[in-house]
Amino acid sequence: MDKILFGSWPVPFGEFSLKLDPLSLVFLIAVTILAVCAGAYGFGYMRPYQGKKPLGVHAFFYLLLALVLVLIVTANNVILFLSAWELMTISTFFLIIFNDEQPPVRKAGFIYLIASHCATFFLFLMFFLMSRAAGSMAFDVMARTTFPPLLAGTIFLLSLAGFGVKAGFFPVHVWLPHAHPASPSHISALLSGIAIKMGVYGICRVLCIMKVLPVWCGYVLLMIGVVSGIMGVLYALGQHELKKLLAYHSIENIGIITLGLGAGLLGMSYQAPFLAVLGFGGGLLHVLNHSLFKSLLFLGAGSVIQETHTGEMDHMGGLAKALPLTGVLFLVGALSICGLPLFNGFISEFIIYFGLFQGLLGLPVHGVIICALGILSLGLMGALASACFCKVYGTVFLGKPRAGSSHSPEGMPERPTAQEGVCREGTSKWMLVPMAALAAACVLIGLVPRTVTGLTFLGAACMAHVDLATIQTEQVLVPLTMVIRVAFLFLALICVLITVRRLLLGRASVPIRETWGCGFAGVSSRFQYTSSSFARLIVELMKTVLLFRRHGGQVTGAFPEKTRMDSSVHDASEEMAYRPGLDFLNDVSKKLGHGRIRHTQVYLMYILLFLIFLLVWKMK
Amino acid sequence: MSSLLNVTFPVLAHWMIVCLLSPFFLGVIARVKAFFSGKAGPPVLQPYFDLARLFRKKCVYSSTATWVFRAAPVIILAAMMALSLLVPFGICKAPVQFSGDILLAVYLLALGRFFMILAALDTGSSFEGMGASREAFFSCLSELALFMNFITLALLTRSISLARMIGADVPIVWGGMEPTLLLAVASLFIVLLAENRRIPVDDPETHLELTMIHEVMILDHSGVDLAYLLYASALKLFIFFGILVSIIVPVRTGYPVTDTAIFLGGMLGLAALVGIVESSMARLRLNRVRLLLLISFALAFFGLIVTLWRA
């Protein structure tokens, strides 16, 4: 299956080559679909900026990013991979800081840049160890090498540290919730849809190269998946900024993917090839699915922000009337991300669940416990994600508009009215068509999963180093077919029930009245539940891990005075680990830098001493 | 042609039985409650009369509502009917059985709930938002307990198909793993009360109080839509009764008549039990409900520990 696409590309001191195997192909498909869809959307989305901002530079970096993403997934050489990796970081940085006149955007860009470069340090270390052991920089030579267990374990941990930051594992995800809301929406879609998947790709590639890993690696990977998934969705529930919420959901979905990969790795360690293929296959399918529905949701969020000029969900409401088509497409994305039947999220989660249940019935006791934990947390993530998207869809698209929208997080200029290529709801066709394409892909995979399962299982077999013909993938594909049959039956039932209702109601027009206010006449749209109040019960239960803060709002006395209340959820890892840690480092470097050394002569003396030390060391 | 008939006939027959019988148990519960409060109570067939009356009535829609509000009752009822195909009821085998159908069952429940909450939020009423928020919260906890029970049952019966987990293989399990099954039954009973919004969690009787969950979410539905929703909750109750009775009463005599009698007896007994619980308890305070659901989770968790320890 592996194919050298472009062999012997001579460069000074060696040669590069590009390689395409099923694993690369899964990611390559996602890159291609997203780059086209998000690009087309960007064409419509950036129109208001025409003449105000240098759009050419933006387009240049966009295309550069698309190119290096392709290079990353096809590179067969460490140097080529790392060069493309660095180019990805830099081009993404320039795409994120598009609205660089705003301080938060600049800050988000720098956090991203610093986090990425810290992570790349671990990658240098990892690839150094790998190439030293293999004696070559080429991935396919490395794949033929056997690594000693201790080295393999070290490389695995380094890969988690290096690629984990890009992928957004909890707790090294801090750049992610800053960067996504700061960048223009089609860039967030690309970032969340595919750029963070490059971290997953890196881990998959390392797993593919290391044929044998110690048993604990599978447990570690699965636990990372569980923690990222649950913390991601809990933080998402606490957000009231639309794109920040979606960013935290990316962390959740990376958790689901990692859970699948961890189950696959466990299957490899315990010589259960079926579990390995199911885990890896489910994980890879979720990579593809997540890039489809998450970019759909980010593009939908972009249209919402363009309409309302705010990302604050508690100021929105009733947008399904202003943006009917966007509303339907966003709902498709929301149903897919919750993993509900008929849509693609269910298919990949079903395969991962199925794998975990196989592990539950087949592995020794330790494996049984971790698989049970995996199943439970996947169930919890599903339930919390449903709650969260009920909140998003209910507050943004349904109900009545809540008063008050003042600022625009992206500095979006007013949209010029009456343009060509603008449809009924006022969204440009350039923006609607890519979203419709993504939604159609979600439904297609949801109803005909065999379009992609063949490819993802091939990729999984490639990672698990087994021949796919020996694995009975029909064992999971037949139940999936049954699921699809029930789904079609369900659709038929809906048609029947709608017909019945139409017959019962007759032709008379349906009366439209106000929502019943329970006898209270002065109902205002401010009475509606906001996103924060909807999520309050869950967030308060979890307030010990979420840093939930609430100010004011206490009503006292018989004639209470006017009061105000605000609540917010802060990122615990950022506030309790990174900030104090960085402050400490700042203090230390300040003490080392200033107070002590004032004179240039002292510096010169240090240099002299160091040179003498080096001389003595070398003379030995 | 005949093969198509062979496939469709069991499905239609199953639906027929489920749809005909399900409102009956609501009537039984109401009757038991009336008995305990010393009243005569409505006839057992009252839920049927209510449904028939609602089916004849017209709908009224809110000016705030969108198509989601109108689609929700249809989707919820369809989801419950699709779900009923996966559950065996006594001698009626589940027409659709496959490995992993428990996942489909749980996610069909979730799909129904998703649209229920959206429809509630769609009206823009603060009461319904309140109900929606509580529904979302409690369902997270009850789904967790449900999954925990499914894990234990899967380990006991070495299968992940609902039809085997609660049907064919349960009598064998009762032979040696009673404590586990007792824990699972207790836990599932709490899940049943919570998922169907019965008394310790929610009060299905009162219609306008700030303490409720399900009833407040359907406040703006009327006519045929309301009938669909009530039918869906009757089906949901019936499905949960079916699951629980299949585990509690694993008698398989082999005579269809006896088996049906035993099964129906079990269902009636369970309905009476729910009625007794409802008459003897008050609704829990809202912040206590989560403790009840966590107890259910803990029971199931102990079940898993016992299973692993004995295995």
Write the pLDDT tens digit of every residue in B159-199. 888 888 887 667 666 777 778 888 999 999 999 999 998 88
Is A389 a domain residue? yes
- Partner B contacted by A353 (CB < 8 A): yes
Cβ–Cβ < 8 Å for A142, A134: yes
* Cα–Cα distance list, A202 to A120, A199, A266, B112, B214 (Å): 12, 5, 19, 38, 47
Give the separation between CA A97 and CA A502, rounded to whole angstroms.
53
CB contact under 8 A, A394 and B122: yes
Domain of A315 in residue numbering reads as 3-407+423-489
How far off is chain B from A351, nearest CA to CA, in Å? 10
Residue A418, pLDDT score: 40
CB contact under 8 A, A340 and B140: no
Interface of B with A in 119-138 (CB under 8 A): 120-127, 129-130, 132-134, 136-137
Please tell me whether residues A89 and A201 are part of one structural domain. Answer: yes
Structural Rg of chain A based on CA atoms = 26
Q: Spell out which residues of chain B touch residue A398, defining contact as CB-CB under 8 Å.
A: 66, 68, 118, 121-122, 124
* Cα–Cα distance list, B254 to A235, B90, B164, B258 (Å): 53, 11, 17, 8
Return the SS3 of A529. coil
Q: Which chain B residue lies closest to A493 (C-alpha atoms)?
A: B78
CB contact under 8 A, A534 and B133: yes
- B154-177 burial, b if ≥16 CB within 10 A, otherwise e? bbbbebbbbbbbbbbbbeebbeeb
Report the 3 state secondary structure along chain B: CHHHHHHHHHHHHHHHHHHHHHHHHHHHHHHHHHHHCCCCCCCCCHHHHHHHHHHHCCCCEECCCCHHHHHHHHHHHHHHHHHHCCCCECCECCCCCCCCHHHHHHHHHHHHHHHHHHHHHHCCCHHHHHHHHHHHHHHHHHHHHHHHHHHHHHHHHCCCCHHHHHHHCHHHHHCCCHHHHHHHHHHHHHHHHHHCCCCCCCCCCCCCCCCCCHHHHCCCCCHHHHHHHHHHHHHHHHHHHHHHHHHHCCCCCCCHHHHHHHHHHHHHHHHHHHHHHHHHCCCCCHHHHHHHHHHHHHHHHHHHHHHHHHC
Please tell me whether residues A483 and A587 are part of one structural domain. Answer: no
Residue A609, pLDDT score: 94
Cβ–Cβ < 8 Å for B74, A523: no
- A170-191 burial, b if ≥16 CB within 10 A, otherwise e? bbbbbbbbbbbbbbbbbbbbbb
Cβ–Cβ < 8 Å for B135, B214: yes
Cβ–Cβ < 8 Å for B148, B304: yes
CB contact under 8 A, A512 and B60: yes
Is A550 a domain residue? no
- Partner B contacted by A592 (CB < 8 A): no
Name the phi and psi angles at B253, rounded to 5: -80, -25
Q: Spell out which residues of chain A touch residue B201, defining contact as CB-CB under 8 Å.
A: none
Q: How far is CA A253 from the centre of its chain?
A: 6
Q: Which of B157, B170, B156, B165 is nearest to B106 (CA)?
A: B165
Residue A513, pLDDT score: 84
Q: Spell out which residues of chain B touch residue A515, defining contact as CB-CB under 8 Å.
A: 62-65, 123-125, 220
pLDDT band at B308 (very low <50, low <70, confident <90, very high): confident
Burial class (CB in 10 A: 0-12, 13-18, 19+), A274: buried
Is A596 a domain residue? yes
Cβ–Cβ < 8 Å for A203, A284: no
Please tell me whether residues A465 and A576 are part of one structural domain. Answer: no
pLDDT of residue B157 exceeding 50, the answer is yes
Is A70 a domain residue? yes
Q: Spell out which residues of chain B touch residue A397, defining contact as CB-CB under 8 Å.
A: 66
User: CB contacts < 8 Å between A and B, how many?
Assistant: 231
> HSE on the CB side for A514, CA within 13 Å?
10
Task: Give me the residues of chain A with pLDDT under 50, please.
Answer: 405-423
Beta-sheet strands, E only, within A317-429: none
Closest Cβ–Cβ partner in A375, A479, A515 for B124:
A515
Give the CA angle between residues A411, A413, A414 to the nearest 5°. Answer: 135
Cβ–Cβ < 8 Å for A192, A250: yes
Is A418 a domain residue? no
How far off is chain B from A530, nearest CA to CA, in Å? 8
- Partner B contacted by A360 (CB < 8 A): yes
Is A417 a domain residue? no
- In tens, the pLDDT along B60-74 reads 898 888 999 999 999
Give the separation between CA B74 and CA B115, rounded to whole angstroms.
10
State both tokens at A410. Answer: 């992206």
State both tokens at A609. Answer: 């001493």
Total domain count, chain A: 2
Q: Spell out which residues of chain B touch residue A365, defining contact as CB-CB under 8 Å.
A: 308
Interface of B with A in 19-78 (CB under 8 A): 55-56, 58-66, 68, 74-75, 77-78
Residue A127, pLDDT score: 92
Q: Which of A95, A97, A93 is nearest to A120 (CA)?
A: A93
* Cα–Cα distance list, A26 to A187, A200, A225, A288, A423 (Å): 21, 12, 20, 7, 34
Give the separation between CA B106 and CA B82, rounded to whole angstroms.
12
Closest Cβ–Cβ partner in B106, B114, B154 for A357:
B154
CB contact under 8 A, B81 and A321: no
Please tell me whether residues A466 and A337 are part of one structural domain. Answer: yes
CB contact under 8 A, A489 and B114: no
Please tell me whether residues A465 and A590 are part of one structural domain. Answer: no
Q: Which of A28, A19, A17 is nearest to A456 (CA)?
A: A28
How far is the first Cα of chain B from the last one, in angstroms, to the nearest whole number?
48
Residue A421, pLDDT score: 43
How far off is chain B from A86, nearest CA to CA, in Å? 41
Give the CA angle between residues A459, A461, A467 to the nearest 5°. Answer: 135
Residue A407, pLDDT score: 39
Q: Which of A27, A113, A106, A42 is nearest to A74 (CA)?
A: A27
- Partner B contacted by A488 (CB < 8 A): no
Please tell me whether residues A87 and A218 are part of one structural domain. Answer: yes
Please tell me whether residues A589 and A453 are part of one structural domain. Answer: no
Please tell me whether residues A75 and A214 are part of one structural domain. Answer: yes
How far off is chain B from A473, nearest CA to CA, in Å? 13
Is A533 a domain residue? no
State both tokens at A172. Answer: 């090294």
Q: Please give the residue that has the higher pLDDT: either A592 or B107.
A: B107
Please tell me whether residues A482 and A576 are part of one structural domain. Answer: no
Give the separation between CA A135 and CA A133, rounded to whole angstroms.
6
Q: What average pLDDT does the structure give for chain B?
A: 88
pLDDT band at B158 (very low <50, low <70, confident <90, very high): confident
Give the separation between CA A300 and CA A311, rounded to whole angstroms.
12
Please tell me whether residues A473 and A579 are part of one structural domain. Answer: no
Residue A417, pLDDT score: 42
CA trace torsion A72, A74, A76, A77 (10° rounding): -20
- Partner A contacted by B151 (CB < 8 A): yes
Interface of A with B in 367-396 (CB under 8 A): 368-369, 372, 375-376, 379-380, 382-384, 386-387, 389-391, 393-395
Residue A557, pLDDT score: 80
Closest Cβ–Cβ partner in A399, A497, A505 for B59:
A505
State both tokens at A309. Answer: 């000029």
CB contact under 8 A, B130 and A529: yes
Domain final residue, candidates A450, A469, A489: A489
Is A601 a domain residue? yes
Cβ–Cβ < 8 Å for B221, B233: no
Report the 3 state secondary structure along B164-195: HHHHHCHHHHHCCCHHHHHHHHHHHHHHHHHH
* Cα–Cα distance list, A262 to A153, A207, A279 (Å): 15, 10, 7
pLDDT of residue B84 exceeding 90, the answer is yes
Name the phi and psi angles at A241, rounded to 5: -110, 125
- Partner A contacted by B295 (CB < 8 A): no
Q: Spell out which residues of chain B touch residue A486, defining contact as CB-CB under 8 Å.
A: 82, 85-86, 96, 104
Please tell me whether residues A283 and A134 are part of one structural domain. Answer: yes
Residue A3, pLDDT score: 62
- Partner A contacted by B12 (CB < 8 A): no
